[in-house]
Structure 1
Amino acid sequence: MDGEIMEIAIITLEKVIVMCILALTGVICYKRRIIDDKQNEGVSEMVLQVFTPILLFTSLQQNFSEKMIKGFIVCIIVSMIGFLISLLISYVVSFREDDYNKAVEQVALIYSNCGFIGIPLVQGIFGSEGVFYMSAFVAVSNFLIWTHAVIIMSGKTDINSIILSLKSPTIIAIILGMTFFIMQWRLPKFIMEPLEMFSSVNTPLAMIVAGINIAKENIIKSLKHKRLYFICLLRLIIIPFSVLFCLKLLSIEKIICQVAILAIACPTGVTGTLFAMRYSKNSGYATEIFSMTTIFSIATLPFVMMFC
């Protein structure tokens, strides 16, 4: 196997281990009651509404390059390809499920945790260039989560959610960041310095929140749920390799292909659980999928990256 590919797989494994240690901190804090559910919700909102948007904005503050602009557009196209493949697979495998579980499985299979877990990983492996490209996946994912995923969960078109998605801090940060990138505007150092400090907080806090959410689940009980293994196999192996096969046929630039597969190979996000609770679907099942895919991704992420 190509030495460079093996090196990416090893780096991915190292970064996954780092993320596990951070997540374990969250588990310990929750088990020892240092942080409770309400505090966790607050920290989660800070990550989603403040630190991740700042990280995305600062990662886009780079010297102008037509190559990167073209790469960003390619990433948007690739993310849509990944979405369509995930959508097709999710509809096929959940066809016989009742509506209570079907919506949960479809959202879990289609939408990866490319924000919470993908951004810290790609930052550690590929640096600011990787985050630049990952921001395209995050933008598309955020828009579709608040439109398509809401339609799946609610069973009806929610215009307010579509409008809300365009007003989210993540989308606004990416639009502002791309504007600054294209126009080559630069903020003063006394503003960029605290923004960069906030950016560095994103990774540890995001993984601590992930650890807390895992700690809230009965993992032993989840291990006995046979269909969970099938869902994990689809989310973490089948879907990423299906997308990778398509990207190989299209001869996508290597770093874009690697970032794309990393984004798609991430475990299921916690958003599925929140939507399941809001729209009276099986939120317990959604949380089980989140926990199990997150745990199994420790092994599957480095494995998938070996083939990029």
Structure 2
Amino acid sequence: MTLALIIGTMIFKMFIMMSVGMIGSVTKLITEEGNKAMTDVLLFIVTPILILVSYQVDFSKDKLQGLLLAIGLSFLSHIIAMVIASIGVKKKNNTDYQVERMGTIYSNCGFMGIPLLYALFGAEGVFYVTAYLTVFNLFVWSHAVILMTGKVDKKGILSVFKSPNIIAIIIGLILFVTGIRVPELILDPLKTITLVNTPLAMLVIGATLIQSNLLKMITKSRLYYITFLRLVVVPLFLIIAFKILGLTGMVPTIILIATACPVASTGTMFALRFDKNSNYAAGLLSISTLMSIMTIPLMAIISEWIQ
């Protein structure tokens, strides 16, 4: 079975879980308050535990080299996205250019990427995608804040180190490098908690799609243009870069999938925080999430064909 078919199968299963979240929202079983509570549980409890557990592996030079490679490729991915956003989204006569550029650059690597890569590669997939997540957070709290406000926010940049995910990555790295293992009596229950990561994330995404007034957004053509940049153009240029550099294997594949994920939910949060067009940001999140069901397997097919 090719990687594209495996990814397609996993995304279809994830879409079924999303659909349950949609039904729960339509029937009011999942309210906006309930969805926010589930989001907090996912962001502040489940995902950090998943990251921490993924680092509970024996130290090896190969894994360390793979992690360093993942960090380098994550920087490359974001730089490519920034160049494409600056070319494809102009400031002139565009009051929403900040929202569009952020949507083009930043992927939903946490909500969509981690569950998908965990389903595909298990804890090893999460181990390497933490590199992308780290670079994502560094750029979000520096570049994205400057993009949205037009000024440097030193406190905002420093706040990246208060993120539960970043804290989990730092602790996990220390445990990985030193070879310290969490006792099985503690580790086993933590592993059990990680099992809810994918279904919980999909329920949240499904409910969010309904609560973001998706039907009002689907007629806006500009949404599809930005979605095309995020889901097709950025991953394609990364695939070409991998080809030029002669990179193949699990680590480049993981970074490609993280890059090919839909518009980051952080974009909507930042639009709300900095008084930008949050409805437009939510529309980008919704449309790109639905379209990614088709485009992520497509990017895998193209990557396999080119390589």
Q: Is the TM-score greater than 0.5?
A: yes
From 203, 224, 233, the counterpart of 2:228: 233
1:132 aligns with 2:113: no
Counterpart Cα distance in 2 of 1:285 and 1:103:
11
Q: Which residue pairs with 1:262 in the alignment?
A: 257
1:98 deviation in Å?
4.7
Of residues 257, 279, 302, the one that matches 1:284 is 279
Deviation readout 1:242-286 (Å, 9 max, x if unpaired):
011001111224111110110000001211111101111011110
- Provide runs of 4+ in structure 1 moved above 2 Å: 96-100, 217-221
1:41 and 1:220 map into 2 onto residues whose CA distance is 21
Shift of 1:299: 0.5
Q: Give the gaps of 5 or more residues in structure 2.
A: none
Work out whether 1:305 is the aligned partner of 2:292. Answer: no
Report what 2:161 is aligned to: 166
Match for 2:71: what amino acid? I
In 1, are the aligned partners of 2:56 and 2:182 still within 8 Å (CA)? no
1:3 corresponding residue in structure 2: none
User: TM-score normalized by structure 2?
Assistant: 0.95
1:187 match: secondary structure: coil
The residue type equivalent to 1:280 in the other structure is D
Which residue identity lines up with residue 297 of structure 1 in the other structure?
S
The residue type equivalent to 1:139 in the other structure is: T
2:185 to 150, 167, 190: 190
The alpha-carbon distance between structure 1 residues 96 and 153, as it changes in their structure 2 partners (threshold 3 A), is: closer
Calculate percent identity across the aligned residue pairs.
37
Task: Judge conservation of contact 2:52–2:171 (CA < 8 Å) in 1.
Answer: yes
Q: Which residue of 2 aligns with 1:247?
A: 242
Q: Partners in 2 of 1:170 and 1:142 — Cα distance?
A: 9
Match of 2:107 in 1: 112
| Post-superposition offset of 1:41 | 1.2
CA RMSD of aligned residues (A): 1.3
Asked if the contact 2:80/2:234 (under 8 Å) is kept, the reply is yes
The normalised TM-score by structure 1 is 0.95
* Aligned residue pair count: 303
Q: Distance in 1 between matches of 2:58 and 2:246?
A: 26
C-alpha distance in 1 between matches for 2:272 and 2:95: 11
